[in-house]
Amino acid sequence: MKLLVTGGAGYIGSVVSAQLLEAGHEVVVLDDLSTGHADAVPEGARLVRGTLRDEAAGVLEGGGFDAVLHFAARSLVGESVQKPGLYWDKNLGESLALLEAMRGAGVRRIVFSSTAATYGEPESTPILETDPTRPTNPYGASKLAIDTALAEYARLHGIGGVSLRYFNVAGARLAGDGGRSQGERHAVETHLIPNVLKVALGEKESVNLFGEDYPTPDGTCVRDYIHVVDLGAAHLLALEACAPGAHQIFNLGNGSGFSVRDVIEVCRAVTGHPVPVEVSPRRAGDPAVLVASSEKIRTGLGWKPERDLRAMVEDAWTFVQRSR
Ligand SMILES: NC(=O)c1ccc[n+]([C@@H]2O[C@H](COP(=O)([O-])OP(=O)(O)OC[C@H]3O[C@@H](n4cnc5c(N)ncnc54)[C@H](O)[C@@H]3O)[C@@H](O)[C@H]2O)c1
Ligand SMILES: O=c1ccn([C@@H]2O[C@H](COP(=O)(O)OP(=O)(O)O[C@H]3O[C@H](CO)[C@H](O)[C@H](O)[C@H]3O)[C@@H](O)[C@H]2O)c(=O)[nH]1
């Protein structure tokens, strides 16, 4: 297939672009490089630099594209609380421009990066796709609005859409001899594992642990971590599953929860560094427990994660060491 990958210069989009190329697809990346890196775009993919609003229609029109994989977004929860307008504009507004561009060009399949943040504070665990969606911040609300728009474009314009609701994505794609590995390198890093690894690298003295008074076994937040390569495999299946006129939603997590202390322990074991911890107050808006039921994608699309938390930390650790 000929595919447009929005956000393909970012962490997840660059990994999935490499997997798509490996599977024999043709890839064009559209990215404004607001948080991505041109050199993360894998060899063999063409990069068009620009926003969805400015460039999507021009790229898609007459381009012979079969489908779009839509990763481009602003995704810092804290920033979204400070600047809700930016998140509505950049996430919902630019996604609507993309959907209109697809409609104009007759491209009918889209796989979209949705998020666990659409659920907000869950009522029960593990979270099912049918559970209530009550986002607690503008980031999650803007992503939920895009899911809703996709359902309308499916119903009214015959688009085939799949929303994948990622839980906590981690790890890296390590390339073989001479190839370029891809992983997380955000200028503003809020995610737990890369922040712990910065301590192991000696770039930070200690890791902040945001809250140890949660109603969880060790008092720290519990999350469901998924390896970025397993996540990518789900995109290939989702692409095949796009059916005109239907919008489907699947959770994407490994289905087991690890506390912040568990994660730090695994990082200590992998790096051999003691990783000092500084306990700080809770981070605003963090739910105590977020664990996915991934039954629907396992039975519906035959997806199965193959990599555990230790593999995620090992690959992220190899990546950051190679990137120094
Ligand atoms: N990382 C996670 O754990 C996680 C969890 C849930 C959902 N997601 C979603 O997955 C997607 C990818 O996340 P990531 O961690 O790779 O983020 P990232 O910031 O590394 O990648 C996003 C990419 O999109 C580009 N971009 C942003 N806005 C754009 C626009 N309007 N036009 C063109 N390009 C634009 C950026 O330059 C960047 O390259 C996002 O949609 C995010 O919301 C990520
Ligand atoms: O330096 C840090 C960073 C994080 N944490 C804690 O570690 C856990 C995981 O935090 P991350 O920032 O790594 O991930 P989140 O669970 O906050 O975020 C993930 O889920 C969100 C939905 O809730 C969004 O989808 C987001 O993009 C995705 O990365 C949280 O309890 C957080 O408080 C720390 O203690 N110290």
Q: Is residue 198 predicted with pLDDT exceeding 80?
A: yes
The pair phi, psi for residue 210, each rounded to 5°, is -85, 85
ipTM higher than 0.85?
Answer: yes
Q: Check if 36 has its Cβ closer than 6 Å to any atom of ligand 1.
A: yes
Report the range of poorest mean pLDDT among 60-74, 169-183, 284-298.
Answer: 169-183
Task: Say if residue 259's pLDDT is above 80.
Answer: yes
Residue 146 burial (CB count, 10 A): 24
Q: pLDDT tens across 85-117, in order?
A: 999 999 999 999 999 999 999 999 999 999 999
Task: Tell me the catalytic residues.
Answer: 139
214 lines ligand 1 (CB under 6 A): no
* Cα(62)–Cα(188) distance, integer angstroms: 37
Give CA 192 to chain center in angstroms.
Answer: 14
Give the closest ligand to the alpha carbon of residue 259. Answer: 2
Helix (H/G/I), strand (E/B), else coil: 261: helix
Report the sign of the C-alpha dihedral through residues 235, 240, 246, 250, in that order: negative
Confidence (pLDDT) at 176: 82
Of 10, 139, 11, which Cα lies nearest the Cα of 77?
139
Alpha-carbon distances of 187 from 14, 34, 96, 184, 231, rounded to whole Å: 16, 10, 27, 10, 23
Please indicate whether residue 166, judged by its CB atom, sits closer than 6 Å to ligand 1. yes
For atom 2 of ligand 2, the residue with the nearest CA is 192
Q: Please choose from 35, 260, 309 the residue to mutate so as to test ligand 2's pocket, defined by most ligand atoms within 8 A of CB.
A: 260
**Does the Cβ of 66 fall within 6 Å of ligand 2?**
no
Enter the DSSP assignment of 269. Answer: H
What's the gap in Å between 183 CA and the centre of ligand 1? 13
What token pair was written down for 176? 């073989």
Mutate to test the pocket of ligand 1, among 113, 119, 290 (most ligand atoms within 8 A of CB): 113
Q: Are 184 and 174 in contact (CB under 8 A)?
A: no
Residues 77 and 137: beta-carbon distance below 8 Å: yes
User: What confidence tens digit (pLDDT) does each residue in 212-255 have?
Assistant: 999 999 999 999 999 999 999 999 999 999 999 999 999 999 99
Q: What pLDDT is recorded for position 141?
A: 98
For residues 255-282, b (16+ Cβ closer than 10 Å) or e, as one string? bebbbbbbbbebbbebbebebebeeeee
pLDDT digits (tens, 9 = 90+) for 138-195: 999 999 999 999 999 999 999 999 999 999 999 999 988 778 899 999 899 999 999 9
Question: Model-level pTM?
Answer: 0.98
């959770």: which residue's tokens? Answer: 251
Minimum-distance ligand 1 atom for the alpha carbon of 184: 20
The best mutation among 197, 277, 286 to test binding of ligand 2, ranked by most ligand atoms within 8 Å of the C-beta, falls on: 286
Judged by its nearest atom, the ligand closest to the C-alpha of residue 219 is: 2
Task: Beginning with the edge strand found earlier in the chain, give each strand of the sheet holding 109-115 in spatial order.
Answer: 46-49, 26-31, 2-6, 67-70, 109-115, 160-166, 247-252
Ligand 1 binding pocket includes 140 (Cβ within 6 Å): no
pLDDT at residue 177, as a whole number: 73
Q: Is 79 near ligand 2, meaning CB less than 6 Å away? A: no
Residue 265 has pLDDT above 90, yes or no: yes
The mean pLDDT of the chain is 97
Q: Which of 69, 99, 78, 88 is nearest to 2 (CA)?
A: 69
Q: Which residue has the tokens 């810092």?
A: 76
